[in-house]
Amino acid sequence: MSVLRFAEPLSREARRETGRPPQPSRERDLLTRPRARTRVEDPHERSADASLRRREKYVAAVMLAGAISAALTGTVWAGGLTGDAARGETLYQVCTDCHSLDKNDVGPRHRGVFGRKAASLPDYDYSDALKSANIVWNEETLDKWLTDPQAVAPGAKMFFHLDNPQDRADVIAYLKERAK
Amino acid sequence: MAHYHEGGLDRRQTLKCMLWAGTGVVWTVAGGVPSSRLIGSAKAAEGGFSFVQMSDCHIGFAKPANPDAHATLNVAIDKVLAMPDRPAFMIHTGDISHTAKANEFDDAQQMIARAKLDVHYSPGEHDILDPKTRDAYLERFGKGATGGGWYSFDQGGVHFVSLNNVVDLKKNGLGSLGAEQLEWLEGDLKGKSNSTPIVVFCHIPLWMIAPEWGWGTEDSAQALGYLSRFGSVTVLNGHIHQLMQKVEGNVTFHTARSTAFPQPAPGTAPAPGPKLVPAGELRKWLGVRKVAYSPTPTNLAVTDSDLS
C-alpha cells in the first residue's frame, strides 16, 4: 500500500465559517517561516526576532493546549471536522451489521482500534489486502477508510462507507473516546 | 404486467402481486402468474402449489437491533407451520448465518427443519465471507449445484433458478453474477418455452435499488436479457430487509423482509445497517413470504406476513 495522503485539518474559523478546505493560517505561517531572518545585526531587529520566537512558542503552546483540550473534551479532528462522540455512538448502530466493540464479527472487534495497527488482532482473519496496507488507525486513516475502504486497501473485506464527512468524524470520535 | 399471448399466456395469466404491510408472504403459482394474499387466506388453487420465502435470518446476530435472532426465526417458522395450506417447499434467499460459522448454520438448519419442508438456499454475503467459508457453504448447501453454487429445478410447471451474486462484490458492495454463471443461466433457460413461468431467486436484488449502498447487481442486465422472452418472470431477493416491488416488462421484482432486523429505506439514513425500532415493535418489521401458484386461474400470489 502506498503512503496515504490526507487533507490538512481545517482551522476552527474555517470550519465554522466556510466548511471549505483549510487555508494557511497566520499562526501556521509564523511557524513555518524560514529561519534565515534570525541572522540580525541591528538591536531592533534582534528584538523583533526575539518577539517572533516568543510568539512562535506562544502559538505552539496554544496549539498543544488545544490538542489536549480536544482530547479531554471528546473532540477530534478528522477530515478537518470536529467529531461528536455522542452522535458517533448513535451512528455506530449501522456499523453493527459487521462489527462489535468486544467480539470479532464479520469484521474485527473495535474496542481499542484507535491507535492500533491495522490487521493486528491475532484472532481475526484479515484480508491479505489489509495485512499489507501498513496503516495505523488514527483520525486521518480512519477518515480515508470510512470514505472508501476499497480505495485504501483494494481487496479488503469491507465495502461499507460513510459519504458524509461529519458522520465519519463523529464515528471516529466515538471509536477514539468511547471505544477505548 | 405481462400480456404475453404468443406463448399461451393471456390477459388472465397476468402476474398479480400484492404486498400487505405487516404480513408474511405466500407465493401462489398458477399457470405461471403470481398473485398474493394474506397468509391467513393464501390458498393455492386446485392443481397449484405454494412455497415460502425466508430471508436474512442472520443466526448469530445478537445486538441492540435484535438481541435474539434465534427467537424471531422460531416465530417465523411458527408462522409457516400455521399456514392453512401447507407450502410445497421453502426457498431461503441468503444470510442464513451472521458470520458464516458452522454452529450458526447448524442452529439455523435445526430451526428451519421444524417447518418440515425441503429448503432451496441461495447464499448471502454473510454466509460466504472468504474462500474458506465459500467452500464450507458449498459443501453444506451446494449439493447438485453447478460451479459457484447456482442451480435450477422444476416444480409444477414452474422453472426455479437459484443464483449466487455474493462472491465477487463490486463497488459499494454491489452483487455480481460473473461470466461463468451468466453463461450457465443462458444455457439453463435455452430449452424452456416462452410460456414457462420462471422464478429467479438470489440474495442481493437483481435490480438497482440503491447502488450507492450496494443494493443491486452490477451485471444483472445480462441475466434479465436472457429472461426477457418469458411471459412471466418473478425475481425474489433478500439483503435489504424490507419489502420493495417493481415491475419491468414481464419481470416482477420483490425484496423480502428479514427474520432478524430491519434496515432503513434508501436515503433515510447515512448508510445501510441494522435499524433500531421501538421496543415491542420489532416483529412488525420482520416477516416471511408465501407464494402460491395455480394453473387456473393462472395466478401467482404473493403474501407477506410480519411476525407480530
Q: Are B237 and B245 in contact (CB under 8 A)?
A: no
Q: Burial, B86: exposed, middle or buried (Cβ in 10 Å; 0-12, 13-18, 19+)?
A: middle
The answer to whether position A3 is within a domain reads no
* Confidence band, pLDDT 50/70/90 cuts, at residue B84: confident
User: How far, in Å, are A86, B81, B264, B277, B286 from residue B283 at the CA level?
Assistant: 28, 17, 15, 10, 5
The answer to whether position A4 is within a domain reads no
If asked whether residues A96 and A138 sit together in one domain, one would say yes
If asked whether residues A97 and A68 sit together in one domain, one would say no
Q: Are B196 and B155 in contact (CB under 8 A)?
A: no
State the Cα–Cα distance between residues B284 and B291, nearest whole angstrom.
Answer: 20
- Domain endpoint, select from A73, A95, A125: A73
At A57 the pLDDT is: 56
Give the 3-state DSSP-derived string for chain A, with helices as H, strands as E and coil as C. Answer: CCCCCCCCCCCHHHHHHCCCCCCCCHHHHHHHCCHHHHCCCCHHHHHHHHHHHHHHHHHHHHHHHHHHHHHHHCCCEECCEECCHHHHHHHHHHHHHCCCCCCCCCCCCCCCCCCCECCCCCCCCCCHHHHCCCCECCHHHHHHHHHCHHHHCCCCCCCCCCCCHHHHHHHHHHHHHCCC
The answer to whether position B188 is within a domain reads yes
State the Cα–Cα distance between residues A117 and A134, nearest whole angstrom.
Answer: 7
At B147 the pLDDT is: 87
* A122 upstream amide cis, omega within 30 of 0: no
Mark yes or no for CB contact A159/B130 under 8 Å.
no
* Residue for grid cell 406476513: B305
If asked whether residues A86 and A172 sit together in one domain, one would say yes
If asked whether residues A93 and A163 sit together in one domain, one would say yes
State the Cα–Cα distance between residues A58 and A78, nearest whole angstrom.
Answer: 25
Short-list A26, A23, A29, CA closest to A11: A23
**Looking at residue B172, which CATH number applies to its domain?**
3.60.21.10
Looking at CA atoms only, how far is residue A114 from chain B in angstroms? 22
Number of folded domains in chain A? 2
Domain membership of residue A64 as a residue range: 12-73
The answer to whether position B31 is within a domain reads yes
Looking at CA atoms only, how far is residue B181 from chain A in angstroms? 21
Q: B181: helix, coil or strand?
A: helix
Question: pTM surpassing 0.90?
Answer: no
Which residues of chain B have a CB within 8 Å of the CB of A160?
Answer: 173, 271-273
Q: Which of B168, B172, B204, B258 to mutate to test the interface with A (most CBs of A within 10 A)?
A: B172
The answer to whether position A139 is within a domain reads yes
The answer to whether position A108 is within a domain reads yes
Q: Which one is predicted more confidently, A167 or A30?
A: A167
Looking at CA atoms only, how far is residue B216 from chain A in angstroms? 14
The answer to whether position B32 is within a domain reads yes
The answer to whether position B5 is within a domain reads no
The answer to whether position B169 is within a domain reads yes
As a whole number of angstroms, the longest Cα–Cα distance in chain A is: 68
The answer to whether position B29 is within a domain reads yes
Q: Which one is predicted more confidently, B213 or A1?
A: B213
Nearest CA in chain B to A147: B172
At B48 the pLDDT is: 85
Mark yes or no for CB contact B63/A96 under 8 Å.
yes
Report yes or no: B208 at the A interface, CB cutoff 8 Å: no
Q: Which of A77-81, A120-124, A142-146 has the lowest mean pLDDT?
A: A77-81
If asked whether residues A111 and A148 sit together in one domain, one would say yes
Mark yes or no for CB contact A160/B269 under 8 Å.
no
Nearest CA in chain B to A108: B99
* Confidence band, pLDDT 50/70/90 cuts, at residue B12: very low
Q: In the predicted model, is pLDDT for residue B243 greater than 50?
A: yes
Parallel, antiparallel, or unpaired for β B287-294 and B299-306?
Answer: antiparallel
Q: In the predicted model, is pLDDT for residue B187 greater than 80?
A: yes
Domain membership of residue B244 as a residue range: 11-306
- Domain endpoint, select from A73, A103, A124: A73
Q: Report chain A's mean pLDDT, rounded to a whole number.
A: 71
Q: In the predicted model, is pLDDT for residue B29 greater than 90?
A: no
| pLDDT tens digits along B131-172 | 999 999 999 999 888 889 999 999 999 999 999 999 999 999
Report yes or no: B131 at the A interface, CB cutoff 8 Å: no
Q: Which residues, in sequence order, are CB contacts of A178 under 8 Å at separation 6+?
A: A85, A88, A89
Q: In the predicted model, is pLDDT for residue A29 greater than 50?
A: no
The answer to whether position B1 is within a domain reads no
At B49 the pLDDT is: 92
At B293 the pLDDT is: 81
The half-sphere exposure of A164 on its side-chain side, counting CA atoms within 13 A, is 11
Question: In A, what residues contact B, Cβ < 8 A?
Answer: 91, 93-97, 100, 105-106, 125, 127, 150, 157, 159-164, 167
Looking at CA atoms only, how far is residue A17 from chain B in angstroms? 24
The answer to whether position B129 is within a domain reads yes
Asked if this assembly's ipTM is beyond 0.85, the reply is no
Q: Which of A34-38, A64-68, B44-48, B97-101 has the highest mean pLDDT?
A: B97-101
State the Cα–Cα distance between residues B261 and B104, nearest whole angstrom.
Answer: 17
Which residues of chain A have a CB within 8 Å of the CB of B214?
Answer: 159
Mark yes or no for CB contact A161/B271 under 8 Å.
yes
Q: Please state, for a pLDDT cut of 70, what percent of chain A lies above it.
A: 56
State the Cα–Cα distance between residues A160 and B298, nearest whole angstrom.
Answer: 43
Q: Which residues, in sequence order, are CB contacts of A122 under 8 Å at separation 6+?
A: none
If asked whether residues A160 and A98 sit together in one domain, one would say yes
The answer to whether position A1 is within a domain reads no
Burial B277-299 (b: 16+ CB within 10 A, else e): beeeebbbbbbbbbbbbbbeebb
Reported as type and span, the H/E element at residue B158 is: strand B158-162
If asked whether residues A89 and A149 sit together in one domain, one would say yes
Q: Burial, B271: exposed, middle or buried (Cβ in 10 Å; 0-12, 13-18, 19+)?
A: buried
The half-sphere exposure of B287 on its side-chain side, counting CA atoms within 13 A, is 28
Number of folded domains in chain B? 1
- Domain endpoint, select from A53, A73, A93: A73
At B1 the pLDDT is: 29
Q: What angle do CA B107, B110, B113 make, to 5 degrees?
A: 145
| pLDDT tens digits along A31-56 | 333 333 333 334 444 444 554 455 45
The answer to whether position A2 is within a domain reads no
If asked whether residues A66 and A85 sit together in one domain, one would say no
**Looking at residue A128, which CATH number applies to its domain?**
1.10.760.10
State the Cα–Cα distance between residues B95 and B186, nearest whole angstrom.
Answer: 26
| pLDDT tens digits along A108-125 | 999 999 999 999 999 999
Q: Are B237 and B202 in contact (CB under 8 A)?
A: yes
If asked whether residues A110 and A170 sit together in one domain, one would say yes
